[in-house]
Each structure stands twice: as C-alpha cells, then as structure tokens.
Structure 1
C-alpha cells in the first residue's frame, strides 16, 4: 500500500508547493514587512503558514461535504480545479504585478499574516482546487485513511517549505536575484499547467465513466 501512497504524497506535495509558489509571495511579503526586523518577519511568516495549514486542513476534511451540500460531484471538481490550475500556470509565465500589489497598502493594525498573506496569496483558488482534486483521487486507494494522511503530510511539508522561504526571504532574494526568481516562477508555471491539464483529463474520463460512456484509448 505504501508504494501507492508515495506517488500520491509526492504529487500532492509538488502540486501544492507549486500552486502556493513561495517565490511569488516573496516580493509582497518583503514589501509588507519592510519595517520589521528578522524576528518580526519570522513571526509573521509563521502565523501566515499556520493559517494556511489550518485552511488546508479544513478543506481536506470538510470540502467534500460542502460540495455534497451544493450537489457538485468530485469529477466536476477535478475538471474545474484543473482549469483553475492551468490558468494559474499560464499566468505564472508572465509578470503579475497588478494582482499582488493591490494588497500592499494594508494599514499598520491589519493582520497581514492572514490577509493578504494566508488569503489569498498562499491559500487561493488554486490550493482549494488542488486539495479537493487530490481528495477526489482517494477513492482509488484501498485505504481511505492512508490517502488522507498522505495528502495531509504533503500539505504540511509544502507549508513548512513555504515558511522557510518567507522566514529567510531577505537572504533568498539576495541569493537568487530578481532574474532567478522570475526564472523559477516561469518553470513552476509550466508544471502547474501540466498538472492542471492532467486533472481536467482525469475528470472528463471519470465523468464519462460515471455516465456509462466507454472510451477506448
């Protein structure tokens, strides 16, 4: 069973990390914390990561229930989530200053760790779609609990890596430079688009199978 859960863990981790995309959050994080010292930045990074982890946890266990209330199938979630991921992937190929800079005028008393860092920068529609899309694949595994544990562990690791990137944001930007961050972001965008297309394909195939349509590949 472990051999089946490892690919789920790796896929969930890489997809979540790519969608959260710490390199895209870095410029906003540095702008919002320009008046903080290293300890203050680490505290804000920790709180933002904690909020993100809690949101992932909520949608992991209650997201499907919400979908059932609104009568949306998991196959449709895969298709919609794949479209969202593909769109995000394409957007990562080009600079997106307008989408991020709108949040740079937060007031001094604002909880920037939750808004805008946790939501919507770190936990946006792409992460919601990814979590629900991964949950939709659990039905293929013999152990449902094992599937949830794999996704939960992947989400925790992705958030931890994001925290490290934010906690050491100053050094990371100085080491990579703007050109390096831009290159990494564009590479990430390509893989996010590929993951999105894969989700759309699997969702369409699953939906066709649910309605008794057999497709021979």
Structure 2
C-alpha cells in the first residue's frame, strides 16, 4: 500500500506540473501585471494561485458529476479554453492588455479592480486551471479511496505553491526589462499563447467532429 501511494503521489505531481507548467506562466504574469506596483503584483499572484487551488479541488470533488448533469465533455472545455486563450493572446500581441485599462482610469480603485480581474481571468482560469489541469484532477480522482484522494489534494497544493513562487520571482525580472522590454516580451508571449489556443481548440474540436461524422479514430 505505501509504495502504491507513493507512485500515485508521483503520478499526481508529474501530471499536474506538466499540465500547469508554472515556469511558462511566469512570463505571461509578468506582462499582465506590468503596470501594477510590486505589492499588488504579489497580491495578484496570491489570489490567482489560491483561486486555482480552490477550483482544482472543486472539480476533483464534483467534476464528473457536473459533466454528467450538464452533458459537458472535456473536449468542449478545451474548445472554450482555446477561445479564451486566443483572445488573450491577440491582445498581448497588440501590447495593449494592461495599457487599455489604465488609460481609461488612473485611480487606485481602478487598479484594484484590474488586479482582481486579472487574478481570476486569465491567470487562475485558464492559465493555471486550464482544460488539461481540470481534466487531469477529474481523472485522477476517479475510483480512489480517501488516502489517495488526500494525496491528490496535497499534490494540488504543492503545485500551486510552486506556481506562486514562480510568479513572485517574475517581478524582479520585470524591473530589469523596462517598458520596451516588457512590450517585446508581451508580444512574444502573445504569439505563444495564440499557438497554445489553436492547439487546445482543435484538440477539442477533432474528437467532436469525428463523433458527428461517425469517423473511427485511427490507432
């Protein structure tokens, strides 16, 4: 039993690290929070990772039930995630994601509102809690005893803490880049995010079209 539990824990950690990839989220966080003071950037990182933890645990506990009740498939989730990613990536390529909001309002309450928004979307969803991460916790949760379920929750917490640390260390890098460097980084990351969006979209659309057309997937 201990060995199988250790193996399950390693499976949870490797799967979640692969799906979330904290290192790849840090540059996007860097671009999204370019105009926020350091204290608010830390607050955004904390809220984003805390929200991601709650969402992943929620879907681990209720995901399969919700999917059955509403007739939702993981493929549909991938399509929606792809659309959100593409919109976000397009705005990043235009280097206007943060600037647009702060040109309209320069007051502190506007900055607070922006930090709240960006912590939830797109950082918590769909960057940290993407379709892959949600699908992973739902699958790992299936037919597990209490000990294995607790191990999964502990693994989610570890990955979220590592993600939070990665986001915190992104802030000092931004100070060295400057405004021009940050805009270049935002455009490059925007292109990468748009490519990820296309991959997500067609990964979800392909199986749905195969089902509609009655095509059997080739092995």
Q: What TM-score comes out, normalization by structure 1 length? A: 0.68
**What is the aligned counterpart of 1:162 among 153, 163, 167?**
167
- In structure 1, the partner of 2:84 is 84
Alpha carbons of structure 1 residues 103 and 13: separation in structure 2 relative to 1, 3 Å: farther
Alpha carbons of structure 1 residues 59 and 190: separation in structure 2 relative to 1, 3 Å: same
- In structure 2, the partner of 1:195 is 196
Give the paired residue count. Answer: 196
Gaps of 5+ in 1: 31-40
Alpha carbons of structure 1 residues 149 and 86: separation in structure 2 relative to 1, 3 Å: farther
- Displacement after TM superposition at 1:213 (Å): 3.9
Gaps of 5+ in 2: 1-6
Contact 1:12 1:155 (C-alpha < 8 Å) held by counterparts: no
- Displacement after TM superposition at 1:79 (Å): 0.5
Aligned pairs for 1:102-181 (under 5 A) are 102=104, 104-107=106-109, 112=112, 115-117=113-115, 119-125=116-122, 127-130=124-127, 131-133=129-131, 134-138=133-137, 152-166=157-171, 168=172, 172-173=174-175, 175-181=176-182
Aligned pairs for 1:67-78 (under 5 A) are 68=67, 70-78=70-78
- In structure 1, the partner of 2:51 is 55
Q: In the aligned structure 1, how far is the partner of 2:117 from the partner of 2:157?
A: 20
Instruction: Render the CA deviation track for 1:105-137: whole Å, top value 9, x for unaligned.
Output: 234xx993xx331x2123214642341402124
Q: What TM-score comes out, normalization by structure 2 length? A: 0.68
Contact 1:8 1:151 (C-alpha < 8 Å) held by counterparts: yes
Alpha carbons of structure 1 residues 137 and 3: separation in structure 2 relative to 1, 3 Å: closer
Q: In the aligned structure 1, how far is the partner of 2:23 from the partner of 2:88?
A: 12
Q: In the aligned structure 1, how far is the partner of 2:44 from the partner of 2:24?
A: 16
Instruction: Render the CA deviation track for 1:32-77: whole Å, top value 9, x for unaligned.
Output: xxxxxxxxx44x4443322222211122122574754654332211
Root-mean-square deviation over aligned CA pairs:
3.7
- Displacement after TM superposition at 1:93 (Å): 0.9
